Amino acid sequence: MTAEIIYKGNLRTEAKHLRSGNTMITDAPVDNRGKGESFSPTDMVATALASCILTIMGIKAEDMGEDISGAVASAKKVMASNPRRIAEIEVIVTMPARSYSDRTKKILEKAAHGCPVKRSLHPDMKETLTINWQAPVS
């Protein structure tokens, strides 16, 4: 098992990562009768996608002797109804201001598109990934 999740009532869960013991709370979103005081389960899907993209890019960067520390990803989900589901996730990655070769950029972008979370999501869900490469500081 990876996690144990307890329903706390009031549309809130507490998830415990069994290996580390770390915990996190989820709340239903305000547009679905929740408090919105924490990540919703669908927020976590969008967050998982962005985290996975950065992680896979980091693995590939390490393999090439590159450093992407300081890269930032932001995730936005768009909900649909009938049935209620995630219709789209937009991820914007902003890379730190370093001198990456065009080859390195291409390899890291390809790695980002191959993240396991992305491969696990339904093909009807729209995914938009934008990578912004910051110019190196002189």
DSSP, collapsed to helix, strand or coil, labels residue 56 as: helix
Using an 8 Å Cβ cutoff, are 13 and 25 in contact?
A: yes
Give the other-Cβ count within 10 Å of 118's Cβ. 19
Using an 8 Å Cβ cutoff, are 42 and 29 in contact?
A: yes
Q: Kindly report the pTM of this predicted structure.
A: 0.93
Q: What is the DSSP annotation of 2-51?
A: -EEEEEEETTEEEEEETTT--EEEEE--GGGT---SS--HHHHHHHHHHH
Give the other-Cβ count within 10 Å of 73's Cβ. 21
pLDDT at 38: 95
Per-residue pLDDT of the chain (138 residues; tens, 9 = 90+): 999 999 999 999 999 999 999 999 999 999 899 998 999 999 999 999 999 999 999 999 999 999 999 999 999 999 999 999 999 999 999 999 999 999 999 999 999 999 999 999 999 999 999 999 998 876
pLDDT at 43: 96
pLDDT at 135: 83
Contacts of residue 37, Cβ cutoff 8 Å, sequence gap at least 6: 25, 27
